[in-house]
């Protein structure tokens, strides 16, 4: 019970730091789900994300705690060129 209260306090601090941290959205999701008892669909409407994304945030938190919310390196969009095409493009533009 003590751990949960510490995490809620941390979430509260993250909510106050709105716009200062890219992880805000994930903390907000957990806060709305755990404290405000909002559904995945309600949260998705608030943060303008797909409900599947919201579910992913919640599952990550349930499995790993706050560490599960830490963002890794964004992979971005997949590469459109093959390695050979990229090498050719790089050589021809040099």
Q: Is 37 a domain residue?
A: yes
Which token pair is 27?
């903390």
- The residue segments making up the domain with residue 27 are 2-69
Report which of 90, 68, 86 is spatially closest to residue 78, judged by C-alpha positions. 86
Q: Is 75 a domain residue?
A: no
The number of CA neighbours under 13 Å toward the Cβ of 91 is 6
Q: Is 33 a domain residue?
A: yes
Q: Is 54 a domain residue?
A: yes
Q: Could you tell me the CA-to-CA distances from 74 to 35, 50, 70 in Å, in that order?
A: 28, 18, 12
Look at 15-24, 44-53, 58-67, 77-86 and tell me which has the smallest mean pLDDT.
15-24
Task: Please provide residue 49's backbone torsions phi and psi, each rounded to the nearest 5 degrees.
Answer: -130, 165
66 pLDDT exceeds 70?
yes
Q: Is 77 a domain residue?
A: no
Q: Is 85 a domain residue?
A: no
User: In total, how many domains does the chain have?
Assistant: 1
- pLDDT tens profile 34-44: 999 999 999 99
pTM for this prediction: 0.59
Q: Is 23 a domain residue?
A: yes
Q: Is 45 a domain residue?
A: yes
């Amino acid at each position: 019970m003590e751990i949960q209260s510490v995490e809620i306090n941390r979430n509260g601090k993250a909510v106050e730091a709105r716009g200062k941290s890219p992880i805000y959205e994930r903390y907000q999701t957990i806060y709305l789900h755990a404290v405000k008892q909002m559904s995945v669909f309600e949260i998705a409407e608030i943060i303008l994300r797909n409900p599947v994304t919201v579910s992913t945030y919640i599952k990550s938190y349930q499995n790993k705690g706050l560490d599960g919310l830490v963002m890794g390196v964004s992979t971005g969009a997949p590469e459109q060129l093959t390695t050979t095409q990229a090498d050719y493009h790089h050589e021809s533009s040099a």
